[in-house]
Amino acid sequence: MGLEISRPDKVLFPDDDITKLEFVQYYADVADAMLPFAKGHPVAMLRMPNGIDGQRFFQKQAPDYFPDFIPRVEIPKSKGTTTYPICDSAKAIVYVASQACIEFHLLPTLADKLGRTDRMVFDFDPSIDDFDGVKRGAHMLKELLDELGLPSYVMTSGSRGLHVWVPLKDTPMDETHDFVNGVADVLVKRAPDLLTTEFMKEARGDRIYFDVGRNRPAQHAVAPYSTRAKRGAPVATPLDWDELDDKKLDPQSYNLRNVRERIKGTDPWRDMRRHAKSLGAAAKALAGLTGS
């Protein structure tokens, strides 16, 4: 791996006996697959120095001791700024993993063009365990995005739901914010008994939360191929759309120990960036659906 790993025998996932060394080796093996999505975006790190049963905290500020090969970007906040790390190389991904970063979360903004983005992210988060409903919602979103002329890519979240990504050409974030809200309005009206955009959990009932808030500048979403801080070390895993029809699939089907073989055979998101689009025509088509 080319990096010295402190306390390599420390167990990070106790139920699965996954050590820090095995954990970091996983990221060394998948870094090249992960890099196209992490590159150029600030990283929020969910760190658990004593494993997933210990203290957990989101760290956004890059520590002073981070090596020079990890770029930084200073982003304004309500009071002051935060200097985020950026994983622009496989070596950077492996180093951050070695700091017991169990989950990599990416901000939507481009680090070198703050306020602009190259993607949209939609999150289907069930209020109850209803993965069949999540899959129905994701298929409905794909149909809508197809209507709007936009490509879409689906992945397991590694938690309870699915994320859908749309690759964009360099786009102002206020445009994406307006667009995803319009998409949410249309989709929820098409399936009001299945989906909701209600932020308060008590207002959702049994409906699936269709979360478009991941596209706000200060928000973030889990990175493809990131592990999740759960028993079994599940991994957020890109899929082909037809894989959603597999009855054996669940949000945690893929994990640190089985996803590497999958990447060797297929990487459904490998060519995503080649299909990036602008929102102009799609926004006009969406306006026709919303009447705005």
Specify whether 152 is located in the same domain as 206: yes
Specify whether 54 is located in the same domain as 69: yes
**In contact, 105 and 220? CB cutoff 8 Å:** yes
Residue 189 pLDDT = 97
Q: What tens digit of pLDDT does each residue of 215-232 get?
A: 998 899 999 999 999 999
Long-range contacts of 196-202, Cβ-Cβ distance < 8 Å, separation of 24 or more:
201/127
Residue 184 pLDDT = 98
Specify whether 85 is located in the same domain as 141: no
Residue 292 pLDDT = 65
Range of the domain at 15: 11-112+220-231+254-266
Specify whether 163 is located in the same domain as 279: yes
Residue 247 lies in a domain: no
Specify whether 70 is located in the same domain as 185: no
Q: The domain spanning residue 152 has which CATH number?
A: 3.30.70.3300
Residue 169 lies in a domain: yes
Compute the distance between CA of residue 114 and CA of residue 108 in angstroms, rounded to an integer: 9
Specify whether 195 is located in the same domain as 55: no
Residue 67 lies in a domain: yes
**In contact, 99 and 45? CB cutoff 8 Å:** yes
Compute the distance between CA of residue 96 and CA of residue 1 in angstroms, rounded to an integer: 13
Residue 14 pLDDT = 97
Nearest 5°: the CA angle 233, 68, 107 is 50
Residue 128 pLDDT = 87
Over the chain (292 residues), the average pLDDT of each successive run of 10 is: 85 98 97 96 97 96 96 93 97 97 98 97 93 97 98 97 97 97 97 95 94 94 98 97 95 96 87 96 94 70
User: What total of structural domains would you count in the chain?
Assistant: 2
Specify whether 95 is located in the same domain as 190: no
